[in-house]
Structure 1
Amino acid sequence: MKKILCVCGHENPEGTTLCEKCGSPLSEEEKGRKLADMRYEGTAIRSKTYNKTIIDKIWNFFSSVKVGVSIIIITLVAAAIGTFLPQVIYVSVPENADVKETYADAYGIFGTIYYNLGLTDIYGSWWFQVLIGMLAISIIVASLDRGIPLYKSLKNQRVKRHENFLKRQRIYGAGEMTAAEVDNAFDLTEEKMKEMKYNIRREEGALLAEKGRFARWGPYINHVGLIIFLFGVMLRLMPGFYIDKTLWIREGETMAIPGMEGYYLESEKFVFETYSEDEQKEEFNQSKKAVNAVAKNYQSDVKLFKAPDDAVPGDTSNLTEVKEKAIKVNDPLKHDGYALYQMDFRLNELKTMHFNLTDKKTEKSLGAVAIDLTNPEKEYKVGKDSKVVLKKYYPDFAGFEDGEPQTASPLPNNPAFIFEMYTPETPKGETSFVAIKQPIEPFGENKYAMKFSSVDTRNVSGLTVRKDKTLMILMLGGIIFMLGVTIGSYWSHRRLWLLKTKDGRLLMASHTNKNWFSMKKDLDAVTEYAHLPAYVDQYDEDQKAEEEEKKLKDKEKEGDNTL
C-alpha cells in the first residue's frame, strides 16, 4: 500500500483525502474544495481506492450506491408485477388439479405466461430470491466499505487540528485575543458545553466538544435491520422454516396433513350458516327487496391425530387423538407451531350415485347399485345372477374427442360411466354409456339400462396449513431498522473545535451531519457565554457568491443582446 505524507509529517493510507492527524487536505480534488468533505471524515474508502483485481471489481460493484438503488427498484417493480394476478396461495386450486391449468383457464394465455415466469409465487421464485440475495450482499459490502473506515476515524480523531482544516469547515470564526482571554474562553466554553451535554477533550492550545456521535450509526443500524429482515425472507425457502399448504378434506375423511409430518386430520362435519332475512335487514340495513344470502358462519369440526414415530406413511390404524376443534374463520386450530385456518369450502359435492339395473320394457328393477365416486369398485353384484362391471369412469365428463369421452378434472363434478351389464337374459353383456341426462347405447338398443335413482352429497372444507419460524426474525429486523431510522432522524453528530494559534489568535470551527439550525443555537449560546469570536456560515457565503456571479453573467448577456 502506498502512503501519503502530510505536511505535518503523518503518513496516511492511500486514498485518504483529509490527514488523519491534522485534517489538512491531501488529494488535489480535496484541495480544490472550498469546504471540506466530511462525509467519511476524509478516510480511505476501499471502493474508491482499488480497482485492479477481480475481487476489487466485485467489491466496487456491490458497494456502489447506484447498484444498490437499482436492485431495490428492480425488486420493487417485480413485486408490483406480482400483484397483476392473485398469488397462488390466494387462488382456489381444485384438489388434484394443475396450478398452471387453473391460471390458464381463468386468465388465458396471459395466465400461462404469468405462471411460466414464476410470477404466481413471486416471493418463492428462484430469481426473486437471487435479487434479495444481491440486495443483501450490496447492503453488507456498502456498510463494511464505509462503516469500518468511519469507525476508525471517529474513534481515533485528534483534538488539535490544522488551521486549514478549521478554515474549511462550514462554520468558522477567528479573533485576536490575549493569552489570558484565550484561557478564559477555553474554560467558559468547557463549562457551557458540558452543561449542554457535550463531551469535552482538551490538549495544549486546542479543545474539542462533541455530542451525539452515535447518530452517525443510524444508517448502518438500518442496514443491519434490513440484512436480518432479508435473511428471514430467504430462510422461508429452507425446509421446516415456512409452510403454507392447502388441504381439501371431505366430511368423514381422515387425511395426512401436508407439511405437518406424522399428523392426520379427520373432518367430522362442515357447518355453513347464513343470516335470516330479518337478521340481514338488522345487521346490514338492507331493504326487503335487496335481501340476499349472506354467510354468517362456516366452520369445520375436526379431530387432530398423531401417528406413532415408527408408523408407515399413510397407515391410519393406530392413531392417537391430540385435540378436537371447530375451525372457524380467524379461529384456527393451533398445535406444535402449526396453524390450520378455514379458508374455503365447497358445498354439496357428489359423493355416491345410486342406480337401478332395470328392464326397459317392464320397468322392473333387478337390484340397486351404489357407486362411490371417490373410490368406485370395478364390479357390482346385483341379485344372484346379475352383475354390473364398471369399464370406464369419467369424474368430470367434458364431452367427446375423436369419439372418446374426456374428463376435465379428477373431481366428481359431472360423472359419466361406461357399464357392462350381465343378466341371465344377456349373458354376453350389454354396454351402456351413462352420463347425467346423456344415456348412450353404442352397440344398439339394450334390453337393460342403469336407471339413475338418487345421489348422496357431502361438503368439502378448504383449509390452509401454516407454520412460520421466520416471523420473529422478520420482526427483529423491522424493529432494528426502525431504531436506525429514529436515531438517524432525531439525533445529529455535533462538534466544536477551538484552536489557539502561535500568533495569538483564537480559531473556532464547527460541524454537524444534519440540523444546522440546532447547531447554530448551541453556538450562539456558547459564543455569548464564553465571548468567542463571531462566526460565519461559509456555505451561505458561497451561495451568495454564486448568486452574485450568476447575476453578473446575466447582466453581461443582457449587454451583449443590447449591442
Structure 2
Amino acid sequence: MSNKSDGIVEKIWDIFSSMKTGLVLLGIVALVSGIGTLVPQVSLDPEGADAVADIWKTLGFTNIYASPWFQFLLGLLCINLIVCSVQRFGGIYKLSFQPKPPQEHSALPQKIYSQVTSKDGEALKQRTQKVLKKKGYYVTQLEKEGSWNFIAQKHRLGNWGSFVTHISFVILVIGALIGSLGGFKGYLMAGEGSVTPIQQIEISKGQVKDDFMVKINSVEDRILPNGERDNWYTDLSIIESGEEVARKSISVNHPLTYKGITFYQASYAPGGLFNVKVKGEEYPVVLQNGGGNFFNAPGTNLFLVMSAMKTDPQEPVILYQVFDETKQVKMGQLTLGQTETIQDDYSITFEKAAGFTGLQVKEDPGVWIVWLGSGLLMLGLLLSFYWRPVRVAGIMNLEKDHEEYELALGAFTGKFNMGIKEEFDSIVAELKDVNQVTK
C-alpha cells in the first residue's frame, strides 16, 4: 500500500513539476481572461451582463474573475510554479554558492575557450587569482595532484533571477485570491449631509464585515478661475459608536482608508438640499439632479424628485415633480429660498445647491501581498536582464609541458551571452600581459 501511495505522489509531483503543465495552465488562464474581456462582467457592466444568454451566466462567464473555477485554475498554476521552484532551488543554490571546479579538460567550455602559458607556474596561478579578484569574481579553487582547478563567478545573484520571477507570480496570484475571497468591492452614491451605514452600500463583489457609518459632510465640484475643473472633493467622516473616528477631504487619486477599507472619489452629480415639512415635522432632504433619488413623505403615497437643475452657483433653479403611485400630481420651479406647498400639511423649501458624491469602496486584504509580489517581480527581472552571471573555469597543469606551464580556461554561456566573450577576452589579455598585472 505504501509503495502504491508513493507512486501516486510521484506521478502527481511529476505532473506539476512539468513545464508543459505550466504552459497549458497559462494558456487556459489566458484564454479564459480573453473571454472575460469580450463577455460583459457584472462588476463593470451590470446591464450588459444581464443581457447575456442564460447559459453564459450559469457557467459564470459574466463574473469570470470571481468564479470558483477560475480561482481553481489560478490555484493549480500556483502549485505548478511552487513545485517547479522547489525542484530548481537546490541546483540554483549549488550553482551560486557551492560551485564545483571542473575535474577534466573535457569539462571546460569549448565555445569560449583559450590557453595561457608561462614558464613560472606559481606566478601564473597568482596572476590569475589577482585578475579575477580585481574584476569582481568569487573564485572557488581545487588543487589535486598534478593540476590546479578553479571556477570563478561574477554576479552570482543573477542565477536567482528566473527563480525570484516565478516566486513573484505565485505571490501575486495568492494576493489576488486573498483579495477576492476575503475582501469586497462596492459603490456609494450619497448626498451632502447624509449618513450611510457601511453595510448598506451597493456591493458588486464580496461581503462587508465591518459596521460603522459614513457621513458626507460636504461635496464640491471645484472650478478654477479660468473655468477648468480642478477636482471633485468630498469631506468624509467615519462614525463609529457615535464618535467621529476619522475624517478627510478626499479627491480623485487621494482616497481615505479606514480599517483596511478604502474610499475612492469616483464621480459627482449636482443636487439640492430641501427643508421638507410634513404634518409639523421637518426633514432635511438632499435630492439628486435628474431624478437619481426620491423622498417619500411620511404618512403619504407621494414621492418628490428633482427632475432638472440650473447649476449656476449664484442663482440655482430647480424643477421638481411630485408623483403618487400611478401619476404625476404636481410639478413646479423653485429658486433659492423659495417655498412651495404640495398639500395642506406638506411643503418644501429649496435651501441650497448640494452635490452628490460617487465613491468606490474597496477592501482588499491581499493588496500588500500583491505589492510584495510586484516588487519581487521587478527584482527578478532586474537580476535576469541586468545582473547576468558570468562563470569562468580553468585548469592549469602543475607539471611543465615543453618547459612551460599551461592554463586552459573557458567561459560558460547561457541563453544570453552578450558581453561574455568581451569579458573573457579582457581576462585572457591581462593574464598574458604580465607587466600590466604586476603594476
Shorter-chain TM-score tier? 0.5 to 0.7
In structure 2, do the counterparts of structure 1 residues 528 and 270 end up closer, same or farther at CA, with 3 Å as the change threshold? Answer: closer
CA contact (8 A) 1:497 1:509 kept: yes
Q: Structure 2: how far apart are the matches of 1:326 and 1:189? A: 66
Q: Which runs of 5+ in 2 are unaligned?
A: 1-5, 200-207, 286-293, 306-320, 331-342, 434-439
After TM superposition, list the pairs within 5 Å mapping 1:10-159 onto structure 2: 53-84=7-38, 87-91=41-45, 99=46, 102-103=47-48, 108-109=51-52, 115-152=57-94, 155-159=97-101
CA displacement, residues 184-216 of structure 1 (integer Å, 9 cap, x when unaligned) = 433432332233232332413122141223322
After TM superposition, list the pairs within 5 Å mapping 1:63-462 onto structure 2: 63-84=17-38, 87-91=41-45, 99=46, 102-103=47-48, 108-109=51-52, 115-152=57-94, 155-166=97-108, 169-173=110-114, 180-200=119-139, 201-204=141-144, 205-212=147-154, 213-239=156-182, 242-258=183-199, 259=208, 261-267=210-216, 270-271=219-220, 279-280=226-227, 283=228, 298-307=232-241, 319-323=242-246, 325-345=248-268, 347=270, 416-417=324-325, 434-436=326-328, 460-462=356-358
CA contact (8 A) 1:492 1:513 kept: no
Q: Structure 2: how far apart are the matches of 1:73 and 1:202? A: 47
Match of 2:384 in 1: 488
- Structure showing greater Rg: 1
In structure 2, do the counterparts of structure 1 residues 354 and 335 end up closer, same or farther at CA, with 3 Å as the change threshold? Answer: closer
1:224 alignment partner, SS class: helix
Match of 1:475 in 2: 371
TM-score, L = length of structure 1: 0.54
In structure 2, do the counterparts of structure 1 residues 128 and 350 end up closer, same or farther at CA, with 3 Å as the change threshold? Answer: farther
1:245 alignment partner, SS class: strand
CA displacement, residues 312-335 of structure 1 (integer Å, 9 cap, x when unaligned) = xxxxxxx22335555444444443
Q: Structure 1: how far apart are the matches of 2:171 and 2:358? A: 34
In structure 2, do the counterparts of structure 1 residues 165 and 249 end up closer, same or farther at CA, with 3 Å as the change threshold? Answer: same
In structure 2, do the counterparts of structure 1 residues 510 and 462 end up closer, same or farther at CA, with 3 Å as the change threshold? Answer: same
In structure 2, do the counterparts of structure 1 residues 300 and 530 end up closer, same or farther at CA, with 3 Å as the change threshold? Answer: closer
Deviation at 1:238, TM superposition (A): 4.2
Deviation at 1:77, TM superposition (A): 3.4
TM-score, L = length of structure 2: 0.67
Q: Structure 1: how far apart are the matches of 2:348 and 2:7? A: 76
The structure that is strand-richer by fraction is 2
Partner amino acid for 2:367? Answer: L
1:228 alignment partner, SS class: helix
In structure 2, do the counterparts of structure 1 residues 256 and 498 end up closer, same or farther at CA, with 3 Å as the change threshold? Answer: same
Deviation at 1:137, TM superposition (A): 1.3
Give identity over the alignment, percent.
24
Match of 2:333 in 1: none
CA displacement, residues 241-285 of structure 1 (integer Å, 9 cap, x when unaligned) = x3422223345543211337231123455555678xx955xx5xx
Partner amino acid for 1:236? Answer: G
Deviation at 1:506, TM superposition (A): 3.9
Deviation at 1:375, TM superposition (A): 5.3
In structure 2, do the counterparts of structure 1 residues 346 and 500 end up closer, same or farther at CA, with 3 Å as the change threshold? Answer: same
CA contact (8 A) 2:39 2:49 kept: no
Deviation at 1:135, TM superposition (A): 1.9
Cα RMSD, aligned residues only: 4.4
CA contact (8 A) 1:198 1:209 kept: no
Q: Structure 2: how far apart are the matches of 1:476 and 1:375? A: 50
1:305 alignment partner, SS class: strand
Partner amino acid for 1:56? Answer: E
